[in-house]
Chain A
Amino acid sequence: MDSLKFVAASVLLGSLLAGTAFAQSPTYGVGRTPTPDELRRMDISISPDGHELPPGRGTVKEGAQVFIQKACIGCHGAGGVGGLAPNLVSKKSGDNVWKQDRVLPLRAPYATIVWDFIHRGMPLGLEGTLTPDEVYSVTAYLLFLNKVIPEDMVLDQKNLPKVKMPIGDEYGKPPPEFKLNTPRLEGYPY
C-alpha cells in the first residue's frame, strides 16, 4: 500500500469510527456519502407503484377541512374552483377524459402524482409543511371532487397507488425506448 492510499484508508477508517461516513468518490475522492436519514428526507419522488409513500391516511372530510385550514382555498377558491390559482376540479368531469380540462388530478394515470405534487409543491411558500396524513386527506378530497373516488374512501399508502384514474390503465407508459443517434420515430421521414 502506498502512503497516499494508506492515508486515505486511515482517514476513511477514522471517519467511520467517529460515526460520520465521509466515504468519497473512488476516482476523484470528492464529495461525501449522504446518510440514509438525509436520503429519506430528500427523496420525495413517488413512483407509480408508490413504494416511497410514507405511512398515513386521510378522508375526504378531513381533506375538506385541511383545504380551508391550510389556506388552499385562498388561491384555488372554495371547492377548488374560482380562485386566482389553477382550477382543481374539471368543469366537464364525467366526460371523455381527453376532452376534460388539464386539471391536475384528472388526466394523470396514477393517483400517486397528485399526492407527489401536493407534497412537494404546496402550499405556496410553505411547501413541505403538510404532514403525510394531511396530504392523503387533501388528495382524497380532490379525487372525490373530480368523481374519481367515493366520498367514504379512506386513502392510505397502500390503496393510493391502486386508485383507478379516469384515464384508464392504457396510458402512463414511458416514451418509446431512447436509442442514441437514431431518428425520433422510425419510418418518420422528418
Chain B
Amino acid sequence: MDSEQKSRRALLKTGAALAGGITLGAVGKANAQSANPPTPTSENASPMIHGSKELIEYGQRSKYVTSVRIAHPLGGRPSPDVFGKVFHVASPLQDSVGVITPSSLHYIATTRGSFMPDIDPKLHTLTLHGEVDRPLTLTMDDLKRFPSVTRLHFIECAGNRHNGKQRTVQETHGMTSCSEWTGVLLSTLLKECGLKSSAKWFVAEGAEEVKGASSIPIVKGMDDCLIAYGQNGEALRPQQGFPLRIMVPGFEGIYHTKYLRRIKVTNQFYMNYNEFGHLTREDKELALGERIGPKSVITYPSGTQRLPGPGFYEISGLAWSGGGAVKTVEVSTDGGKKWNRAEFKNTPQRMAHVRFAYPWKWDGTETVIMSRTTDDIGQRQALREEIAEWWKVPFERDYRVPGLDNSVMPWKISKDGSVTNGLA
C-alpha cells in the first residue's frame, strides 16, 4: 500500500464528515501534499461498512464469513428439485463453534420433499382433539399466554449416516443441529384438554401441502414434548416450521412436525405416511430407529481441512444423545489405542449438543483421531466393528449400522496435515 492510499484511508476515517461535498480525488490529493501525515497507530486498515436501513433493522454476517448449507449429497433427491421442493439440506458443522446452530444454518429436511408453506400467523391455529375430555383450538396469541419454557435441544435426521464416500463433516454429520427453543410444554396443553385413560398415542400434523404427520407415544408427549414458536431468541424460521412446530426431544427429526396445526390423541398406533418409512423386518432395528443414540463427532480438524504443521491444536467437536444428557466424551489421537477424557465447553443438557475439546500436540506423523461418548442413561457410542460383532455379522468396510447410525467417526491425518475420511 503506498503512502497516498494510506493517508487517504486515514482521512476517510477521521475526516469523512468534515469532507462533506469534496470529491474523493480532491481529498486524496490534498492529503498527499500534507507535510503532517497521520501516525500509523491511528490508521484503520479496513474499509468501512456503511450503515443502511437493512443493517440497522436486521443484521448480517461479514462478507468474509462464507459458510453455507449444502443440499445433502445422499438425500436421494436434488434440493431444490424440478418442482421447487427441498428435501435434505446439511449444516456446515466444520465451521461451527459453541453449541447453537445459527437459525440460518440449521439443517433442513421436509416430509418426503415438500414445499414450505407461507403461513400468516394471525390465521394459524393449533387444535388438540381425540381422546381428550375438552378439545381445544388455540391461536398463536393464545399459545403465547400459556406458561412457557426455553430449552436447548438438538434435532437430527434419521438419514444422518456416515460412510467412506463422504468427504466433509457436513456430509457425514451435517443433518443435525441444535437451537434454543421456546414454547409451551405439550403436557401443559394436554392437561388443559384432560387426557382420557384411553389415550396411548398422538398424531402431530403439519399444515404443509402433504400435511406431514407422525405418531408419538403419549408418554413422551406428557414428558418433554414442546410446542415451539421461538428459536434462538426470535420466531421460528419458515424452514423450521414457522409459526409452530413440535419438539420431540431425542427422537429422530421426522417426528418434530413443522407447521404444526393439529394434535390428535389416539387410542392406537396410527401408521401415517411417515411411519410407513420406518417399516423394517427386524424388531430390534425398529427399536433403534426411533430415538437417537449417543453420538459424537470431531468437527475440527475434520475432512478436507488441513493442519498447517506439527504443533498445538484444540481438537473440538459435538456430542449428543437422544437418551438424555451427555455424560462423558473421550478422544483418541492414535486410532483408538488410547482414549483421553475430553473437556466440555458448556454444561451438558438433556437432548442437546455439547461442545467438547481435547488439547493435542500433533507430532507430524500420520494418525487417526476420533471421539466417543456416553449418556446419563448408560448408553455408549461404539465403533462400527463393535456393533457388527454384537449383531454377529462379519465387519466389512461398507458395514451399515442397523437403525440410526451413531457409530464412531474416524478422521485420518496425513503427514502433510491433510484430513480425510477415516472410513474411506
Cβ of B324 within 8 Å of any chain A Cβ, yes or no, is yes
B278-296 contacts to A, CB under 8 A, are 278-279, 281, 283-284, 286-291, 293-294
Chain A neighbourhood of B6, CB < 8 A:
none
Say yes or no: A175 contacts B276, CB within 8 Å: no
| Interchain nearest-CB distance for A40 vs B (Å) | 10
Q: Which one of B43-51, B235-243, B333-341, B380-388 is at the interface?
A: B380-388
Q: Which of B209, B288, B322 contacts A127 (CB 8 A)?
A: B209
Say yes or no: B273 contacts A181, CB within 8 Å: no
Say yes or no: B323 contacts A184, CB within 8 Å: yes
Complex alpha-carbon distance, A138 and B223, angstroms: 41
Cβ of A180 within 8 Å of any chain B Cβ, yes or no, is yes
Q: Which one of A61-69, A108-116, A145-153 is at the interface?
A: A108-116
| Interchain nearest-CB distance for A52 vs B (Å) | 10
Say yes or no: A33 contacts B209, CB within 8 Å: no
Cβ of B64 within 8 Å of any chain A Cβ, yes or no, is no
Given contacts A42-B127, A124-B209, A108 and B276 within 8 Å (CB-CB): yes
Cβ of B370 within 8 Å of any chain A Cβ, yes or no, is no
Say yes or no: A48 contacts B270, CB within 8 Å: yes
Encode contact with A along B336-353: 1 for CB under 8 Å, 0 otherwise.
Answer: 000000000000000000
Q: Which residue of A lies closest to B407 (CB)?
A: A190
| Interchain nearest-CB distance for A189 vs B (Å) | 7
Chain B neighbourhood of A109, CB < 8 A:
271, 279
The main secondary structure of chain A at its interface with chain B is: loop
Say yes or no: A39 contacts B127, CB within 8 Å: yes
Q: Which residue of B lies closest to A178 (CB)?
A: B217
Encode contact with B along A152-183: 1 for CB under 8 Å, 0 otherwise.
Answer: 00000000000000010001111111111111
Q: Which of A33, A43, A75, A85 contacts B264 (CB 8 A)?
A: A43
Number of A-B contacts (CB under 8 A): 162
Q: Which one of A11-19, A22-30, A87-95 is at the interface?
A: A22-30
B114-136 contacts to A, CB under 8 A, are 127, 129, 134-136
Chain B neighbourhood of A176, CB < 8 A:
283, 286-287
Q: Which one of B29-37, B138-146, B174-182, B410-418 is at the interface?
A: B138-146
Cβ of A34 within 8 Å of any chain B Cβ, yes or no, is yes
Q: Which residue of B lies closest to A44 (CB)?
A: B211
Complex alpha-carbon distance, A171 and B209, angstroms: 28
Q: Which of A34, A84, A174, A178 contacts B129 (CB 8 A)?
A: A34
Cβ of A120 within 8 Å of any chain B Cβ, yes or no, is yes
Encode contact with A along B135-157: 1 for CB under 8 Å, 0 otherwise.
Answer: 11111001001100000000000
Encode contact with B along A74-109: 1 for CB under 8 Å, 0 otherwise.
Answer: 010000000011000000000000100010000111
Complex alpha-carbon distance, A23 and B192, angstroms: 12
Complex alpha-carbon distance, A121 and B301, angstroms: 44
Complex alpha-carbon distance, A101 and B193, angstroms: 42
Q: Which residue of B lies closest to A23 (CB)?
A: B134
Say yes or no: A190 contacts B135, CB within 8 Å: no
Q: Which residue of B lies closest to A47 (CB)?
A: B270
Cβ of B191 within 8 Å of any chain A Cβ, yes or no, is yes
Chain B neighbourhood of A84, CB < 8 A:
82-83
Cβ of A70 within 8 Å of any chain B Cβ, yes or no, is no
Say yes or no: A28 contacts B145, CB within 8 Å: yes
Q: Which of B288, B289, B377, B380 contacts A182 (CB 8 A)?
A: B377
Chain B neighbourhood of A27, CB < 8 A:
191-192
Say yes or no: A33 contacts B268, CB within 8 Å: no
Q: Which residue of A lies closest to B137 (CB)?
A: A34
Cβ of A31 within 8 Å of any chain B Cβ, yes or no, is yes
Given contacts A121-B210, A178-B290, A31 and B137 within 8 Å (CB-CB): yes
Complex alpha-carbon distance, A27 and B286, angstroms: 39
Say yes or no: A175 contacts B135, CB within 8 Å: no
B interface vs A, CB < 8 Å?
82-83, 127, 129, 134-139, 142, 145-146, 191-194, 201, 203, 205, 209-211, 213, 215, 217, 219-220, 223, 262, 264, 266, 268-273, 276-279, 281, 283-284, 286-291, 293-294, 322-324, 377-382, 386-387, 390, 403, 406
Task: Please list the 8 inter-chain residue pairs (A to B) with the smallest Cβ-Cβ separation, ordered nearest first.
Answer: A174-B269, A25-B192, A121-B210, A178-B217, A190-B382, A185-B287, A31-B138, A34-B137
A–B pairs, 9, beta carbons within 8 Å: A30-B138, A109-B279, A121-B273, A174-B269, A182-B377, A184-B287, A184-B293, A188-B390, A190-B387
